Structure 1
């Protein structure tokens, strides 16, 4: 949240020849089907266009948003433990790498072991900027970005002799419903193990932990309104993709705690009755009707470990902050 961008482009062309939808086609299908559902939805991945990545960067610095501070502190405090078993010539594969800050914390902890960095993200411009920065700051590091939607299969560059260490920071996995968490972990295990022989495959994943709603809601409805801007920006992205004319002034941001599901939900609330044309479809909104744009599940250590075990991973280590707000799970492919 690229510069394998040319490779990704070539793969997309092959997909088109083979009848698979392009990313834009997939976005269109998901947008239209989501907006036609009884509870209107939009794909969470559409938050992360260039403007969305910048807004999210601002969110991570807000006083209400603890995730980045807690995770950064954990990485700083435990990075030697986290990388202690990393073998020489290991590839660090970061999922949702809109910038390199967290990945670099691990790379700098084990520069002789982590020789290749593979950032994966759907936002091509952010990946290109990341690669350019690392060319200056870490000139001996092999950087092989992959522009892809990592909720599906990802074709990774060949691994070094030390295997692969997957890294999924920032609690982004909280956006996935529990069944999708398991499918993602199964797919990531397959992708990370592909082509790796006689070397370990590990995965370091950050999760926001379950706690009282009074400590959760402010992180999704900050006083400065940055999260509201981030939420509304998804409509601007939809406008560009579909040619729609969503007026963001006709929608309000809302964050709610769903106790039964154990998740924060973000919605965009239509302030008026309106009809918006989206890719040739008239989408009607009643006043007060919402688009559910994001779910952010909160996990317990035990619950997440159970999901990981079902997906073929074994929990090796766990680190958390003193308040128990955030956790880092160290997993080993079983």
Structure 2
């Protein structure tokens, strides 16, 4: 460093003052800083990285073991995962997975039971078809025997066809929650169309099939739904009532369909009532299970009609209830009520 110093004397010239020092002290200071600060970092940093790696490896070891157990599982193993060795933060995730596995296991068990029941239901009419066909092909059979065999073959084929159609209807109802096409539907009009199709069956059994309630186009009877599925719901309720209602020339059976509307509460009500033996209270939840048949019943049926009704009702956010139509009587009858809470005004 240097500077000019002014000298306050007569005739004096400015004086240049220069100061200098060697770089040895600075070099020594820099070396001491490197030794005291930088060199320890080269030792501490790798140790810190190693410790972090070991800690992470130990921390995620339970997750790796969980992943390994899941990866090595058999496709049919739906038992719950062991959550005792997993970190506390992951316990809710394992609990959710176990809940999903439980529901999936129940769903698969239901499907297997459904397929077994369906196979059993189809096996009986198909076995009858084969037996009657063998009898018809037997040599020496009379024309009357052939006619009787053909009649039995026709009945068995109709029963098998009815079972297959109901299986398809139930499958459509169960899988239609995501892609069902909805539109305003007049519930009374759908009921009248189903009743017109059911008149012949009712007349064959000498059953008085009637309608009570509001008229077509009345306020509060339109609902937002799928017309095809709703007709299937109504048809199964009416068919169920006709099948299980006894009738004699002296005491004809009665099946009544009603549509009621509460336009202020935006509720449309469908009722199907019969004069049959009714359903015991202990079995009223069971009749909505596939292939369940009430004890002591001799009516033809596959046991799929009411499960179809329940699936379609749930698809339309409706509630289904069952009660005696005439409590206290020897034949109390059954009254099925479907309440649609999405009626359009």
Note whether the superposition's TM-score is higher than 0.5: no
Q: State which structure, 1 or 2, has the greater radius of gyration over its C-alpha atoms.
A: 2
Greater strand proportion: 1
Classify the TM-score, shorter chain: under 0.3
TM-score normalised by structure 1 residue count: 0.23
When normalised by structure 2's length, the TM-score is 0.22
Bigger RCO (CA 8 Å, 6+ sep): 1
